[in-house]
């Protein structure tokens, strides 16, 4: 089931107390909204927010995937939230404060029970573990392999957040201090077979140029999308993680050139100054296959 997850370029956090902001996420063109029941909701308001989030999930439509970030599964509260929001229209659950594969296996079992109650196929609801501690980042590979429903996992290295505190780096707009970390986590989740890894976050709301540079760096590493905290970030992220018209046109030209050469019995050929062969053509076909239509 996990390999069939749709590619998501932008996943926008929406406070669980502000369900009405889903309309803003939709208008911004977000591929997914993450309704947040953890950091965005004070303790006294979590029960009421959970009820509103569950209602919003039930009203979700196909134009934007809806995820829910529950509270950690270190007590009954998180498990009750998970059961409350489980629904055929729920795209996935964001699991915070993951310490290791045991946390993922527990969430997987709980989701399996929910799916059985709802008459859903096993693995219908995706699971996105958040790697927010040094231990979790170190165990990215085993966490990613802990359940087939794991998807969209990656390194989220926002300014001043849990990861910066856990690792001790000093955040910079250039991202050089987290480049190796984001690269290693990406390699781990790719090796684990997890589809559609996403990165994040960019917390400077008004600095769209900085956001673009950071998103381009993540795309160059191999990430397929980013989590976001503000609607104004969504169009930039969508643009960066979507192939441009010239890239798509070059892919088509390359495929045609390689296939024409193969018909002549040739292997590698020179194409627009580069040496290319079937491996490059296969990559070009993947780009065309995964290209996301503009919303």
**Does 82 have pLDDT greater than 70?**
yes
132 is in an annotated binding site: yes
pLDDT interval class at 292 (50, 70, 90): low
Residue 97 three-state SS: coil
**Does 43 have pLDDT greater than 90?**
no
Q: What is the CA radius of gyration of the chain?
A: 20
Tell me: the pLDDT tens digits for 127-171?
999 999 999 999 999 999 999 999 999 999 989 889 999 999 999
In this structure, are strands 269-271 and 274-276 parallel, antiparallel, or unpaired? antiparallel
Q: Per-domain residue ranges for the chain?
A: 2-240, 245-290
**Does 32 have pLDDT greater than 60?**
yes
252 is in an annotated binding site: no
Tell me: the pLDDT tens digits for 217-262?
999 999 999 999 999 999 999 999 998 888 888 889 989 998 888 8
Query: Which CATH code fits 2-240?
Result: 3.20.20.60
69 is in an annotated binding site: yes
**Does 294 have pLDDT greater than 50?**
no
Can you tell me which residue has the tokens 């998180």? 78
CA distance 182 to 178: 6
- Across the chain, what does the average pLDDT equal? 92
CA distance 198 to 238: 12
Q: Indicate the range of 119-123, 195-199, 209-213, 280-284 predicted with least confidence.
A: 280-284
- Count of CB atoms situated within 10 Å of the CB of 116: 11
**Does 209 have pLDDT greater than 90?**
yes
More confident residue, 229 or 265: 229
């Amino acid at each position: 089931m996990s390999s069939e997850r749709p590619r998501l370029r932008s996943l926008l956090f929406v406070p669980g107390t502000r369900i009405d902001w889903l309309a803003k996420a939709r208008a911004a063109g977000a591929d997914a909204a993450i309704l947040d029941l953890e950091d965005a909701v004070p303790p006294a308001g979590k029960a009421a927010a959970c009820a509103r989030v569950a209602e919003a999930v039930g009203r979700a439509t196909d134009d934007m995937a809806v995820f829910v970030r529950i509270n950690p599964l270190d007590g009954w509260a998180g498990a009750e939230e998970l059961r409350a929001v489980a629904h055929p229209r729920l795209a996935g659950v964001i699991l915070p404060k993951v310490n290791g594969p045991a946390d993922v296996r527990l969430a997987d079992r709980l989701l399996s029970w929910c799916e059985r109650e709802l008459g859903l196929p096993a693995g219908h609801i995706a699971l996105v573990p958040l790697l927010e501690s040094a231990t979790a980042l170190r165990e990215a590979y085993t966490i990613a392999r802990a359940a087939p429903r794991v998807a969209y996992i990656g390194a989220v290295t926002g300014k001043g957040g849990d990861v910066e505190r856990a690792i001790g780096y000093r955040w910079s707009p250039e991202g050089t201090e987290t480049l190796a970390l984001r690269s290693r986590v990406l390699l781990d989740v790719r090796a684990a077979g997890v589809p559609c890894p996403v990165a994040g976050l960019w917390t400077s709301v008004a600095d769209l140029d900085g956001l673009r540079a950071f998103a381009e760096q993540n795309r160059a590493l191999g990430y397929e999308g980013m989590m976001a905290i503000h609607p104004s970030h969504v169009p930039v992220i969508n643009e960066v993680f979507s192939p441009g018209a010239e890239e798509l046109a070059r892919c088509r030209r390359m495929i045609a050139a390689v296939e024409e050469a193969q018909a002549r019995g040739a292997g590698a050929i020179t194409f627009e100054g580069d040496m290319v062969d079937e491996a490059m053509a296969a990559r070009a076909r993947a780009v065309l296959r995964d290209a996301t239509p503009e919303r």
